C-alpha cells in the first residue's frame, strides 16, 4: 500500500485478555491518485458517506489492506476503517453494540451467533476461504507430540487450548478431544490463549486455528510458522472438519448496499486469491 493510502495509524498491542487491536484508517483514494470531488460514480459520494468499518482477526491485517487497494481501483470513492483484534474480542464488541459494517468470522459458530442476534444483513454472507484446526508444539516437544492424543502424555506439562462454546475453535477443539478420549487430561493442563502461550514458551503444545500459526506475508508464497512454533499437522477430518471463514455484512452505520457490495467482492476470485496467498493479485507490484 502506498503512503498516500494511509493518513493515520494508531496501534494498541497486547496479547490475550489485553487483546491486540490495530486501528488503521484507509482513505478512499485510488492507487496513487486523489479522486477529485464531483467526478461521478463513487467519487460523488466520497464526502457524504462514512467509511466502511471492517473488523478482521489479526492474521488477516495485511491481506485485508491489499483487498482494500484492489477494491478501490473500481470504487475509488469508498473509504475504509480497519480494526484488527482477536476473534473473541471482535465478536464481543459487535454483540455489545459496537457493530461494524463488515466482520470476518473465523468459523460457523461465530456466524451462527451473529445470525441469531439478527446482526447480519440479508444477502450479506460470503465464504472467503477454509481453514483447519492445527496441532502445534514447541521445538523441544517435536519428538513427543505427534498426534492429538499425545496431549495427554506426562511429558506434556501444559497445553494451550480453547474450549469456549462461543468460538468455533473452542467448540471443535472440545469435540476433537472428546473423540480422542483425552478431554479431561487436556483441560487439566490447559492454558489460554493457546498460540500466544506457545510462542511465549508457557506451554509445550497448542491447538489453534491454522491461520494464526503462520507469519503473514504478501511477498513470499511459502507459509512460515511463527517463531518457536512447530506445526505438527492438521486435525484429521474424522476429528474436525475444515472451518469456513466468512465475510459478513452487519447492520452497522454504512449504507447496506455498500457493505453487501464489499462482502460480495470479498467472496470473489480476486479477494479469495489474496486471502489464500496465491495468484497474481495477492502480491503488491
User: Is 34 found in the same domain as 120?
Assistant: yes
Q: Is 251 a domain residue?
A: yes
113-164 pLDDT per residue, tens: 999 999 999 999 999 999 999 999 999 999 999 999 999 999 999 999 999 9
Residue 32 has pLDDT above 70, yes or no: no
User: Is 44 found in the same domain as 162?
Assistant: no
User: Is 155 found in the same domain as 97?
Assistant: no
User: Is 115 found in the same domain as 161?
Assistant: no
- 67 is in which domain, residue-wise? 3-130+245-275
User: Is 121 found in the same domain as 8?
Assistant: yes
User: Is 106 found in the same domain as 24?
Assistant: yes
Task: Record the pTM.
Answer: 0.81
Report CA dihedral (74, 91, 182, 191) to the nearest 10 degrees. Answer: 110
User: Is 56 found in the same domain as 15?
Assistant: yes
Number of domains composing the chain? 2
Q: Is 79 a domain residue?
A: yes
CATH of the domain at 165: 3.40.190.10
158-183 pLDDT per residue, tens: 999 999 999 999 999 999 999 999 99
DSSP string, 109-174: HHHHHHHHTT-EEEEEEEEEEEE-EEEEE-GGGTTT--SGGGGGSTT---EE----TTSHHHHHHH
User: Is 22 found in the same domain as 57?
Assistant: yes
Amino acid at each position: 500500500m502506498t503512503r498516500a493510502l494511509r493518513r493515520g495509524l494508531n496501534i494498541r498491542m497486547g496479547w490475550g485478555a489485553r487483546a491486540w487491536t490495530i486501528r488503521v484508517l484507509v482513505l478512499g483514494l485510488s492507487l496513487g491518485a486523489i479522486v477529485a470531488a464531483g467526478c461521478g460514480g463513487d467519487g460523488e459520494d466520497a464526502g457524504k458517506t462514512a467509511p466502511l468499518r471492517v473488523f478482521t482477526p489479526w492474521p488477516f491485517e495485511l491481506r485485508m489492506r491489499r483487498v482494500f487497494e484492489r477494491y478501490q481501483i473500481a470504487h475509488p470513492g469508498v473509504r475504509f476503517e480497519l480494526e484488527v483484534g482477536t476473534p473473541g474480542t471482535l465478536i464481543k464488541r459487535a454483540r455489545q453494540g459496537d457493530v461494524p459494517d463488515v466482520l470476518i468470522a473465523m468459523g460457523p459458530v461465530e456466524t451462527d451467533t451473529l445470525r441469531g442476534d439478527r446482526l447480519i444483513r440479508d444477502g450479506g454472507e460470503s465464504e472467503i476461504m477454509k481453514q483447519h484446526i492445527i496441532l502445534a508444539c514447541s521445538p523441544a516437544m517435536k519428538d513427543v507430540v505427534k498426534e492429538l492424543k499425545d496431549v495427554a502424555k506426562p511429558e506434556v506439562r501444559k497445553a494451550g487450548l480453547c474450549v469456549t462454546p462461543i468460538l468455533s475453535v473452542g467448540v471443535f477443539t472440545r469435540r476433537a478431544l472428546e473423540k480422542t478420549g483425552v478431554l479431561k487430561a487436556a483441560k487439566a493442563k490447559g492454558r489460554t490463549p493457546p498460540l500466544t502461550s506457545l510462542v511465549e514458551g508457557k506451554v509445550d503444545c497448542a491447538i489453534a486455528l491454522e491461520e494464526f500459526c503462520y507469519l503473514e506475508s504478501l511477498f513470499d508464497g511459502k507459509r512460515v510458522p511463527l517463531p518457536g512454533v512447530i506445526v505438527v499437522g492438521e486435525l484429521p477430518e474424522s476429528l474436525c472438519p475444515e472451518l469456513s471463514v466468512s465475510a459478513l455484512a452487519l447492520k452497522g452505520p454504512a449504507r447496506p448496499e455498500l457493505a453487501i457490495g464489499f462482502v460480495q467482492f470479498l467472496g470473489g476470485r480476486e479477494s479469495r486469491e489474496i486471502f489464500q496467498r496465491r495468484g497474481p493479485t495477492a502480491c503488491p507490484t
